[in-house]
Amino acid sequence: MIAHLFNAPTGDTEAAIGVGTVGSSEAIMLAGLAFKRKWQQKRKAEGKPFDKPNIVTGANVQVCWEKFARYFEVELKEVKLKEGYYVMDPEKAVEMVDENTICVAAILGSTLTGEFEDVKKVNELLTLKNKETGWDTPIHVDAASGGFVAPFLYPEIEWDFRLPLVKSINVSGHKYGLVYAGIGWVVWRDKEDLPEDLIFHINYLGSDQPTFTLNFSKGIAV
């Protein structure tokens, strides 16, 4: 349902996949791990170094991105903000992308101001850079605050899976009224965007149960 809301490809080949989390912080950790693993696998296959991954973001990102970078040893390349423009500049962000960039992270609902970053512009510029360099750098959208606002109030804004380079999106449930704290989701555009070796399969209750979370136990909201 959330994948459909975010305009994931549908039809006979529908392949979106997602997982419930205790919030967007966990969701971002999982999305980041998926990007890192995909990048590492590609670099290994090409016989290239895979020890210096980075993510490009704006300096306005929530602290969970800094936690991910520190905990999982990924360089965080932050686009500096400027007076009167308190979100990530798409042109400067794409300029910072290099062969070690595992994704560009755009925010739909900045923690500082609530502003939506121009994901469509990032997609356009990054598409050109990928074509010029032969890279395939993707985009993650941190829609923790805006993911359940934009589809209803601003449906004309293209920020989601309508953009080809957007591979995953996280969103929070508990930022809205009458919702128990401790619930979020991360959705991937396609099963191919979530490496299978990150998924655990358990059989505690007599049947296969795939699990990809940092927490095993869940709060009441989940």
DSSP per-residue codes, 80-96: PPBTTB-S--HHHHHHH
b/e burial code for range 128-150 (CB count within 10 A of at least 16 → b): ebbeeeebebbbbbbbbbbbbbb
Over the stretch 189-218, which tens digit does the pLDDT of each residue have? 999 999 999 999 999 999 999 999 998 887
Q: pTM, whole model, 2 decimals? A: 0.96
Over the stretch 5-25, which tens digit does the pLDDT of each residue have? 999 998 777 799 999 999 999
Q: What would the two tokens of residue 74 be?
A: 């990924």
Q: What would the two tokens of residue 126 be?
A: 């990054």
Over the stretch 79-92, which tens digit does the pLDDT of each residue have? 999 999 999 999 99
Over the stretch 32-77, which tens digit does the pLDDT of each residue have? 999 999 999 999 999 999 999 999 999 999 999 999 999 999 999 9
CA angle 165, 171, 173 (to 5 degrees): 165
Q: What would the two tokens of residue 212 be?
A: 């990809």
Q: What is the DSSP letter of 112?
A: T
pLDDT value for 158:
99
Every domain of the chain and the residues it spans: 18-211
Fold of 18-211: Aspartate Aminotransferase; domain 2 (3.40.640)
